Amino acid sequence: MKLGVAVACTFLPALAQAQEATVARLRAFVVTNDSVALRTTIRERPDDARELVRLLLIDASRSEARRTDSVLVLANRVSGAFAAAWEDSFLVAQVARFARMNPAQRAAKIAADSIRRAGNDALGRHGVYAALAIWRQALARSTAAGDSAGIAAALGNIGSGFYRSSRLDSAVLYLNRAQAMAAAVGDQRTALNALAAMGSAARDRGNLQEAETIYNRTLELRERIGDERGVAADHNNLGLVTAGLGQVAVARKHYENAVAVAREHDLEEPAAIAQMNLGNLASDEANFSEAAKHYGDALEIYRSSARDADAALVLHNLGLLAMRRGDYTTASGRLREALVIFNRFGTVEDVVLVRRDLAAVAAAEGDLQTALLQLRLAERRLGRRDRPSGPQAGRFQDPYRHCASLRKASPSRRRLEEA
């Protein structure tokens, strides 16, 4: 699954503008061929350099021949400077391959990449099922175009989507294919994304030491290639593993590191994820005010970018926090807000867990009739959709068995990792 962050939200409104400003500054350095300033900025903002190359290739695909050549010269400068600044020459190979394509091939590649990125956006806004449908389209387009890098990226996205929907076997199958294909074309970032997601699958299967080893390895390599988003993701994931091993102080440090990276590089999603996970730590320590602040900051991040599906996860945790405080009115309200969104965009797991918690609220208030109704609705949802596979499936097999203990049930918070 995925969740949380510990950074003040005062920097959020300027995130998009900050990246746009850096990309514009990089473009100016490229146009004037200021190699020193270009390399310095690329060291400071590697993700923005990747974004500039992407935008230049889009520009080249839409331009007439003479202008295309001049745009590709600029893309070569950026990719060359990136390879000199970081241990990653994939952008150089990407630009060279793009230059060898004819106009139709270039247009096909850009279209496939655009569709895949639309799937990334749909994940946070409309949920994993919507994202999977779009990523499958991207995979088909990249396959038709013979774009190995695009195929690897789409396979990795689909594998991540299967992971988020608790289909671990399918996730690992796709992620293995993505890692192998990405490594073959020199796309270290996609290969490491796939490997880290396999670490998350290992963690969900209870193999915490294996997951920790994978995350530490991907963190080391991502720091070498300038993948700041990946670095933040690894700190979030290492926080989850170390928290699971009872190393709370270490987990907190990882989440705080994720916040620092997110703040420095204007990365919204890793910030929200770390915020949520810090909220979980605070809740575990019965520091409810601190937990509410962290959850509230995560919710602000997601709502400011219209990521409704992700916002629902935060609302669920806020409902669980209210349950721990004994504020059942607020708990019911937050959980019902989450349920409305999950009914539109969520997985079976999302809906069943929220209904289970609504049943717990009703039972705590002495309303066992409503509690049983929520459990029946959860069971009905399980009957309509494929049930999760793997170890998580056991949590959903018979909601009725929980009814007798609902009065004393302790809420299990939603967590968020980056796959």
The whole-angstrom separation of Cα 305 and Cα 377 is 31
Contacts of residue 368, Cβ cutoff 8 Å, sequence gap at least 6: 362, 403
* Tens of pLDDT, residue by residue, the chain (419 residues): 333 332 223 333 444 566 778 888 899 999 998 999 999 999 999 999 999 999 999 999 998 877 899 999 999 999 999 999 999 999 999 999 999 999 999 999 999 999 999 999 999 999 999 999 999 999 999 999 999 999 999 999 999 999 999 999 999 999 999 999 999 999 999 999 999 999 999 999 999 999 999 999 999 999 999 999 999 999 999 999 999 999 999 999 999 999 999 999 989 999 999 999 999 999 999 999 999 999 999 999 999 999 999 999 999 999 999 999 999 999 999 999 999 999 999 999 999 999 999 999 999 999 999 999 999 999 998 876 544 444 444 444 444 455 444 444 444 455 555 54
**What distance in Å separates the CA atoms of residue 186 and residue 147, rounded to the nearest whole number?**
13
Q: Tell me whether residue 393 is in a domain.
A: yes
Q: How many CB atoms neighbour CB 153 within 10 A? A: 28
Asked, for residue 262, whether it belongs to a domain, the answer is: no
Determine, yes or no, domain membership for 221. no
Summarize pLDDT for 252-303 with one digit per residue, the tens. Answer: 999 999 999 999 998 999 999 999 999 999 999 999 999 999 999 999 999 9
Residue 216 located in a structural domain: no
Give the CATH number of the domain where residue 349 resides.
Answer: 1.25.40.10
b/e for 199-224, b at 16 or more Cβ within 10 A? bbbbbbeeeeebbbebbeebbebbee
Range of the domain at 332: 307-419
Is residue 372, in this structure, part of any structural domain at all?
Answer: yes
Q: How many domains are contained in the chain?
A: 1
In a domain, 417, yes or no: yes
How many Å separate Cα 337 from the centre of its chain? 22
Asked if residue 378 is part of any domain, the answer here is yes
- Residue 314 inside a domain? The answer is yes
